[in-house]
Copies of this chain bind each other. A is one copy, B any other.
Amino acid sequence: MSQPSFVAVDWGTTGFRLWVMDAGGQILNATQGPFGMSRLKPDDFGRILEESLDTLGVDEDVPVVICGMAGAAQGWCEAPYLTAPTQLEILGQQAVVVPNTRRCVRILPGVKQMNPANVMRGEETQIAGLLHQSPDFGGTVCLPGTHTKWVRVADRAITSFETCMTGEQFGFFSETSVLSHSMILDGWSDSAFREAVRTATRDPAAIARRLFAIRAEMLVADQTSAEARATLSGLLIGQELMAVPHYWQGQSVTLIGAPTLCEIYLRALDVMGVGGRALEVVSMTLAGLTAAHQQYMSHANA
């Protein structure tokens, strides 16, 4: 069996994923847990990392590269943002080394945009992974999730980006709000979804009154809970699309995210006559962390 070369970590708001990688880019071992930044104090990060690596038997001389919210001001050790437009080849070089750790631990910076104000932490690493695999890529990348990012990439750089809180809103409306009484956990109707995307994109200003109508349609008409949930998703994604039309109109969109979620966004784009493709988020994250590790090594050896 090959030797560990470095440890890759994606440390987000709600979760923690860790992979032990060899020099050839293969995964030797992996672990994960619900130890996201939102429930940790700064002192907790080092302990969780060391316990995980002890459990997996990773020697102390194996370096660690981390992306995500561990580098936020409220995280483990702040990794100052790069400012868009920014090349991503410098991600590894701009990493901060966490002080007072037994092993070499580096956290990659996020990216900020000054006008309009915006921030990302984690998605830049996935895009770096895409550019590591396809250096000549240019165009729009959509990273759907709790806070969906729309990113323009050109000349190996992030040139601009936008954030829509669509995933967080869907969770609120479907699980907590009054609409939750009209939904079941995994109901779905593709025709209701497509119709809702059409409705929201045709008249985006009307969204505020269309949401409660999902509840009312159930009380006074014969809408099913599967139709209700798909309608909510279609209205919110349709609203999102109309907020960022310059990112997808007349283009082909590259999605990076969970496969099921990417498929839903591809269907919404299809309603608008736009094509795209989906890339799996873990492979992009690992490619980005590997690229950063390699940049660091070549920088250190130069």
Residues of A within 8 A of B (CB): 13, 73, 81, 112-114, 116-119, 147, 162-166, 168, 172, 176-179, 204-213, 215-217, 219-221, 236, 239-240, 242-244
Contacts and interface: CB of A to CB of B under 8 A. Distances in A.
A216 B206 CA distance: 26
Contact of A114 (B118, B207, B220, B236): B220
Tallying the copies of this chain within the complex gives: 2
Nearest to A242: B205
A92 B176 CA distance: 34
Contacts of A147: 178, 212
Given A117-B220, A210-B243, 15 more contacts: A13-B178, A112-B220, A116-B213, A117-B213, A117-B217, A118-B212, A163-B213, A164-B209, A164-B211, A165-B178, A165-B179, A204-B205, A205-B205, A208-B243, A209-B243
A173 to B, nearest CB: 8
Nearest to A13: B178
Contacts of A164: 208-209, 211-212
A216 B119 contact: yes
Contacts of A242: 205, 208
Given A209-B243, A242-B205, A220 B162 contact: no
A177 B221 CA distance: 32
B165 A211 contact: yes
Nearest to A221: B117
Nearest to A146: B178
Interface of A is mostly: helix
11 contacts: A81-B220, A114-B220, A116-B213, A118-B216, A164-B211, A166-B208, A172-B176, A205-B242, A207-B243, A209-B244, A210-B243
Q: Which of A118, A208, A244 has the most CB of B within 10 A?
A: A208
A215 B113 CA distance: 13
A165 B181 CA distance: 15
Q: Which of A212, A220, A242 has the most CB of B within 10 A?
A: A212
A92 B160 CA distance: 60
Nearest to A211: B165
A188 to B, nearest CB: 21
Nearest to A236: B208
B216 A117 contact: yes
Q: Which of A117, A168, A211, A236 has the most CB of B within 10 A?
A: A117
A238 to B, nearest CB: 10
A80 B63 CA distance: 68
A216 B162 CA distance: 11
Nearest to A81: B220
A82 to B, nearest CB: 12
